């Protein structure tokens, strides 16, 4: 095989991977975090769509973990922002073949497990964060004159995949789904 043919095959593979990842995305529809009495209240809706490769893996029994990272920051104009606290919410999506149901599990929340008959319903519930409360300890200092931000993102957790799938997930852009960090100002 010549170098030109090999280069063409690699280019075609990269193009195919980029086209398959174009249909899947994670995005933030809305966000309204507030800070009341040293408790962060998070109300956010994520738009989570999966590409056909991830759907295929899910339907073959591979659980998919979506991690929602939340940070409370103190903004500094002259240096990087100070992280006052950070918190992670993990929700697991899996397909139960016997009942033909999609299960969303979140041990950190009151409703630990929910089941859905369609993937779209499960993804809607998975991306809906309502009245999540994150209390701040007494050691977490809030300055009255400083500008504070709540920053959050949702991402597909590649580290939670089975070990044999991780190299493929790291090498394929279609598995790296992430909303990117979004920030909202809050006042203590």
Q: Are 152 and 71 in contact (CB under 8 A)?
A: yes
Exposure of 133 in the CB half-sphere (CA atoms within 13 A): 7
Q: Domain limits of the chain?
A: 3-186
User: Looking at the DSSP assignment, which residues form a beta bridge with residue 104?
Assistant: 93, 114
Low-confidence residues of the chain: pLDDT under 70: 1-24, 110-111, 188
- Kindly state the DSSP code that residue 138 receives in the 8-state scheme: T
pTM of the model: 0.79
Collapse the DSSP code of 165 into the 3-class scheme (helix H, G, I; strand E, B; otherwise coil) and give the result.
helix
Residue 1 in 3-state DSSP? coil
pLDDT at 52: 93
């Amino acid at each position: 095989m010549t170098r030109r043919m090999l280069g063409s095959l690699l280019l075609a593979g990269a193009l195919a991977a980029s086209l398959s990842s174009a249909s899947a995305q994670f995005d933030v529809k809305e966000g309204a975090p507030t800070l009341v009495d040293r408790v962060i209240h998070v109300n956010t809706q994520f738009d989570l769509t999966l590409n056909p490769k991830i759907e295929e893996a899910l339907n073959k029994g591979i659980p998919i973990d979506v991690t929602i990272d939340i940070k409370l920051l103190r903004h500094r104009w002259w240096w990087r922002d100070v992280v006052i606290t950070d918190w992670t919410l993990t929700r697991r999506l899996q397909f139960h073949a016997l009942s033909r149901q999609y299960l969303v599990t979140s041990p950190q929340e009151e409703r630990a497990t929910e089941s859905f008959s369609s993937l779209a319903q499960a993804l809607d519930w998975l991306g809906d964060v309502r009245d999540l409360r994150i209390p701040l300890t007494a050691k977490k200092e809030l300055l009255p004159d400083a500008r504070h931000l709540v920053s959050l993102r949702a991402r597909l957790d590649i580290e939670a995949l089975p070990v044999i799938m991780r190299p493929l997930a790291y090498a394929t852009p279609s598995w790296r789904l992430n909303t990117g960090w979004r920030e909202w100002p809050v006042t203590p």
